[in-house]
Amino acid sequence: MKINKSGAKFSAIVKIGEDLREESRKTGKEFLYLNRGINRVVNIDLSEIIPMIDFNSDTLQYYPHSKGMFLLRKAINNEFFAEKTSEENIYVTAGGMNALSLVFQTLEIENVYTHSFYWGAYSNALKIAEKNQLFYDDFEDLRNNYKKYDNSAVIICDPNNPTGSKADDKMLFEVLDLFSKQNTTVIWDGPYRRLFYDNTDILYQKLLTYENVIITESFSKSIGLSGQRIGFMHCKNPEFNEEFAVRLLYSGNGINAFAQILVEKILSTPEGKKAAANFKEKTVNDIGKNIKLLKEKGLLTEEFYNNETPVGIFVIVNKSYNELKTKNIGSVPLNYFTKRTDFDVENYSRICVSVPERDFKKYFAKF
């Protein structure tokens, strides 16, 4: 059997989690698993939503439309775009990863720029799509040197994974204004933003004014449903959408109907909205307290947050993976997220701060 090897690697972060759990099993040590990329302050409470779903229905049991169920696309249009876009521009995907992979495959472009601190999966998905990954320093670099990014694609992830920093929206729109005057495609991949905002956030509506912006979104983080594998892609370019739709169809033949109905109910019913709001409020509250504790203990790497605010759900701490492990805290070494060499990457790690405050406090009392 000859294999078409992409050169992409299986997620190393998954391996870290497996190793820690194995060590825990062998030694009986309890770890705080801050290596994980999920919100674990609370689960979203679905108890009032599940009774609304008719499991004995055609809608749930038969193939959904490969673009996604119309009612969900309508709910997304309402929630994110205040009904200012067309449902035709929205494609339901199996999470943000699926959307990103298909976007990378669909774009005929050589170079894709990511932040110098980037989500490692971008590298692997770009490798599979045979695109070069290049880096920008930060949003100031994008603004000041915008010409450098002509004829390329640029991924914007804000709040950022791994740093958890949030840039000023004004700065982001300055960058978009410059890119809209040249041939730069922007992939707006911000699955953490809507954890901190509800539908009064007008950012997505403002993104509609840019023809060169492709949005990839996820319900994994903002409403905590990473297990449902659901997200969406939005683009206004009909030619792009036509090719994307074909690739979406033949990659999965539609997205799980239950997940679509569930998210549609969360976005569009009073019970669903209440569950999402409670989830966000509790999660953001503990994230804020956990970041405050890190600041007080001098563990947050303030030098990486120049003009930006660390909001989570991740932050970078000035402790190595091993140092944290000796205190029974799981993390991911920072070298999984950057190729920067202007500082000693070995001394830093990414931790997820979206865990209950009491657990966080208990484990960080050891510092």
Enumerate the β-bridge partners of residue 113.
134, 154
Locus of tokens 């294999």: 3
Footprint on residues 147-166 left by ligand PLP (CB under 6 A): 157, 161
User: Rule CB under 6 A: is residue 224 a binding residue for ligand PLP?
Assistant: no
Q: Does 220 engage in binding with ligand PLP (CB under 6 A)?
A: yes
Least distance to ligand PLP, CB of residue 220, Å: 3
Q: Which range binds ligand PLP by CB under 6 A, 6-14, 94-102, 207-215, 304-312? A: 94-102
Nearer to ligand PLP, 188 or 348 (CB): 188
x-or-dash pattern for ligand PLP, window 303-332, by CB under 6 A? ------------------------------
Residue in 95, 159, 224, 333 binding ligand PLP, rule: CB under 6 A: 95
List all residues 6 or more positions away from 13 whose beta carbon is below 8 Å from its beta carbon. Answer: 35, 37, 120, 332, 336
- With beta carbons less than 8 A apart as the criterion, state whether 23 and 29 touch: yes
User: Is there a contact between 231 and 216 (Cβ–Cβ < 8 Å)?
Assistant: yes
Between 64 and 231, CB nearer to ligand PLP? 231
| Closest approach of ligand PLP to the CB of residue 229, in Å | 7
| Euclidean distance between CA atoms 320 and 349, whole angstroms | 6
Of 68, 96, 164, 310, the one binding ligand PLP by CB under 6 A: 96
Q: 238-252 and 95-106 are packed helices; what angle lies between their axes, rounded to 10 degrees? A: 120
Quick one: 97 or 291, whose CB is closer to ligand PLP?
A: 97
Q: Give the interface size with ligand PLP as a residue count (CB under 6 A).
A: 13
Site stretch for ligand PLP (CB under 6 A), options 90-98, 105-113, 144-152, 257-265: 90-98
| Exposure class string for 268-282: b at 16+ Cβ within 10 A, else e | beebbbebbeebbeb
Q: Is 189 among the residues that bind ligand PLP (CB under 6 A)?
A: yes
231 binding ligand PLP? (CB under 6 A)? yes
Distance of CA 315 to the CA centre of its chain: 14
Among the listed residues 316, 315, 317, 312, the one whose alpha carbon sits nearest the alpha carbon of residue 283: 312
Task: Enter the tokens of residue 29.
Answer: 């040590």
191 or 310: CB nearest ligand PLP: 191
Q: Which among 108, 84, 95 is positioned nearest to 207, based on CA atoms? A: 84
Nearer to ligand PLP, 37 or 333 (CB): 37
Q: Across the strands, what pairs with 217? A: 232
Q: Does 191 bind ligand PLP (CB under 6 A)?
A: yes
Query: In the bound complex, what is the minimum distance in angstroms from residue 191's beta carbon to ligand PLP?
Result: 5
- Where are the extended beta strands (E) located within 278-356? 309-310, 314-317, 329-330, 332-333, 349-352
The window from 11-19, 131-139, 173-181, 218-226 that contacts ligand PLP (CB under 6 A) reads 218-226
Piece in contact with ligand PLP (CB under 6 A), picked from 62-70, 95-103, 128-136, 245-253: 95-103
114 binds ligand PLP (CB under 6 A): no
- CB-nearer residue toward ligand PLP: 96 or 310: 96
To the nearest 10 degrees (0 to 180), the angle between helices 120-128 and 95-106 is 40
Q: Is residue 37 part of the contact set for ligand PLP (CB under 6 A)?
A: yes
Binding of residue 254 to ligand PLP (CB under 6 A): no
End-to-end CA separation in angstroms for the chain: 53
| Residue in 257, 363, 171, 145 with CA at minimum distance from that of residue 156 | 171
C-alpha to C-alpha distances, 153 to 112, 132, 345, 360, nearest whole angstrom: 5, 10, 27, 38
Residue closer to ligand PLP (CB basis): 107 or 293? 107
Binding residue for ligand PLP, selected from 226, 283, 331, 338, defined by CB under 6 A: 226
By CB under 6 A, name the binding residues for ligand PLP: 37, 95-97, 119, 157, 161, 189, 191, 218, 220, 226, 231
